[in-house]
Amino acid sequence: MKALILSGGKGTRLRPLTYTGAKQLVPVANKPILWYGIEAIAAAGIREIGIVIGPETGEEVKVKTGNGDGFGVNITYILQEKPAGIAHAVKVARDFLQDSPFILYLGDNLIRDRLQEFLAKFQQQQLDGLILLREVKNPSAFGVATVDDRGRILQLIEKPKNPPSNLALVGVYFFDSSIHQAIATIQPSARGELEITDAIQTLISQQHNVQAMQLSGWWLDTGKKDDLLEANHIVLDEFLETKISGNLDEHSQIYGRVEVSEGTQLINCTIRGPAIVGKNCHLENCFIGPYSSIANNVTIIDTDIDHSVILSGAKIVNIHQRIVDSLIGRKAQLILAPKRPKALRFMVGDDCKIELQ
Shared domain for 331 and 227, answered yes or no, is no
Look at residues 213, 235, 257 and tell me which one is the last residue of a structural domain: 235
Q: Are 18 and 44 in contact (CB under 8 A)?
A: no
**pLDDT number for residue 296:** 97
Q: Are residues 115 and 246 in the same domain?
A: no
Q: Do 154 and 212 sit in the same domain of this protein?
A: yes
pLDDT in tens, 107-146: 988 899 999 999 999 999 999 999 999 988 888 888 888 8
Residues 146 and 255 occupy one common structural domain: no
b/e 61-83 (16+ beta carbons within 10 angstroms → b)? beeebeebeebebebbbbebeeb
214 and 315 both lie in a single domain: no
Across 16-32, average pLDDT = 75
> Which residues 6+ apart lie within 8 Å of 245 measured at CB?
260, 261, 262, 264
Q: Are residues 248 and 271 in the same domain?
A: yes
Clarify whether residues 210 and 94 are in a common domain. yes
Cis previous bond, 32, omega within 30: no
The answer, yes or no, to whether residue 26 has pLDDT greater than 90, is no
Residues 117 and 146 in one domain: yes
- Identify the domain boundary among 212, 235, 258: 235
* Domain residue limits at 318: 242-356
Instruction: Report pLDDT digits (tens) over 297-346.
Output: 999 999 999 999 999 999 999 988 899 999 998 888 887 765 555 677 77
* Residue 128 and residue 64 share a domain: yes
Domain holding 51: CATH number? Answer: 3.90.550.10
Q: Give 233's pLDDT tier (boundaries 50, 70, 90).
A: very high
How many domains does the chain fold into? 2
| 188 shares its domain with 78 | yes
pLDDT band at 224 (very low <50, low <70, confident <90, very high): confident
Please state, in angstroms and as integers, the Cα–Cα distance from residue 216 to each residue in 46, 122, 210, following that order.
Answer: 22, 17, 20
Query: What is the spatial distance between Cα 128 and Cα 123, in angstroms, rounded to a whole number?
Result: 9
Specify the CATH number for the domain of residue 349. 2.160.10.10
222 and 318 housed in the same domain? no
- In this structure, the answer to whether residues 20 and 165 fall within a common structural domain is yes
